[in-house]
Amino acid sequence: MDEPLQAPAMKATRTVEVRQSLLDGNDRQAALNRRRFQELGLAALNLVSSPGAGKTTLLERTLTEFGRTTPCAAVVGDLATDRDAQRLGRSRAPVAQITTGSACHLDAGMVARAVDRLDLAGARLLFIENVGNLVCPASFDLGERLRVVLLSAAEGEDKPLKYPPIFKSAHVVLLTKVDVAGVLGFDRAAAAENVRRIAPQARVIELSARSGEGIEQWYDLLGALVPKG
Ligand SMILES: Nc1nc2c(ncn2[C@@H]2O[C@H](COP(=O)(O)OP(=O)(O)OP(=O)(O)O)[C@@H](O)[C@H]2O)c(=O)[nH]1
Ligand SMILES: [Mg+2]
């Protein structure tokens, strides 16, 4: 009788231990990344959202417009293809694609290896576009200075209430695709209120990478983040 009762409990304990040591290892590498970015005079941003919330579209515009005066670089993670790296590379910024295979998030080691492939001379900001996923990236520090969570008008106002960990970990929340908020019946004020309830620490910016509404606020925030000197 004892055996079948004990086995699942032991398995659960081991799973927790393995997960904890994975996260500890990631935190150590994230600290190394953070120090490396500091030494390079670089501020790193980790962009997280569900698939299709508009990370790459915002970065395409940012690298072209903001990147004109402030050199930037990007690392982008997807399960497969280098489509996003190709899109971002049109700006002529240094870009590295990470293909994770089946992993649903980036970890600090993947970012370190991708950064090895980039010529970061002169770059002041490093954008890290995470794999589209509103759950797993919450637990993985990449060594970023700022975590930016995107919530698009197409997803509904309730996502901060339903996926709290990622929003609690955000420094900034971008409400994206506000150009189509009306047609989608997306209540911008209600969404911002839900973010404030779950993540009172986060700065909220409503923007559209398509129409350009709100984009100056985003650029002001990036400008303030650029390391001095
Ligand atoms: N109307 C509108 N559409 C947008 C906006 N930003 C992105 N889109 C569209 O949303 C779709 C997804 O955009 P992406 O930028 O590829 O989204 P993503 O978050 O990078 O997606 P993944 O990398 O797959 O997670 C594309 O069809 C974009 O054209 C916006 O501001 N307004
Ligand atoms: Mg993308």
pLDDT digits (tens, 9 = 90+) for 141-155: 999 999 999 999 999
Does pLDDT of 109 surpass 70?
yes
CA of 54 to the centre of ligand 1 (A): 3
Residue 9: pLDDT band by 50, 70, 90 thresholds?
low
Map residue 162 onto helix, strand or coil. Answer: helix
Would residue 84 count as lying in a domain?
yes
Q: Over 60: is that where the pLDDT of 101 sits?
A: yes
Average pLDDT over all residues of the chain: 94
Distance CA 133, CA 127 (A): 17
Cβ neighbours of residue 208 closer than 8 Å, sequence gap 6 or more: 176, 177, 178, 179, 214, 215
> Can you give the pTM of this predicted structure?
0.92
Q: Give the domain range for residue 60.
A: 24-225
17 within some domain: no
Q: Quote the pLDDT of residue 229.
A: 73
- Residue 123 belongs to a domain: yes
User: Is 38 contained in some domain?
Assistant: yes
- Nearest ligand, measured from the Cα of 209: 1
Res 162 pLDDT > 90: yes
Q: What is the pLDDT of residue 18?
A: 73
* Ligand 1 atom, smallest distance to 50 CA: 25
pLDDT at 1: 43
Q: Say how many domains are in the chain.
A: 1
